[in-house]
Amino acid sequence: MKTAHDLVIAAKSRIQEIPLADAEQAIREADVLLDVREAEEYAAGHLPGAIHASRGMLEFKLSNSPELSSRDLKIVLYCKTSGRAALAACALHDMGYLNVKSISGGFDAWAGAGKPIAKPVLPTFE
């Protein structure tokens, strides 16, 4: 029986995972930056410019978004540490997307390196 860890290792052998040092350049060159974490994770802070599409709904969101339907889109995606992103990258490859990259270490590595994080600004009522 395979574990989640086994599935992630297998996925990482099939995808293009980029080191954190190359992430900013890849993001600049990308058409889409996807955060595949859960909604509450995204709301707590995300990479600037990222679009949220949780891992569980990713295939459905892409299938129902005409602006994301081109299989030639350059996509960079990430999750908390890179496991869900690896699985998501495999799913996108299986859907026919040709240019998918995953950020090694994910959001935790990005934040740990002191890179910019976007957070929603809530209104004040003072």
Q: How far is the C-alpha of 81 from the C-alpha of 91, rounded, in Å?
A: 18
Give me the domains of the chain, ranges plus CATH numbers. 4-108 (3.40.250.10)
User: Among 27-31, 73-77, 121-125, which is the least confidently predicted range?
Assistant: 121-125
HSE (CB half, 13 Å, CA atoms) of 25? 5
Tell me how far the alpha carbon of residue 91 is from its chain's centroid.
12
Place of tokens 């299986």: 94
Q: Assign 71 a pLDDT band (cuts: 50, 70, 90).
A: very high
Q: Assign 121 a pLDDT band (cuts: 50, 70, 90).
A: confident
Q: What is the pLDDT of residue 123?
A: 74
Global pTM reads 0.91
Which of 68, 76, 78, 22 shows the shortest CA–CA distance to 45? 78
Q: What is the pLDDT of residue 125?
A: 79
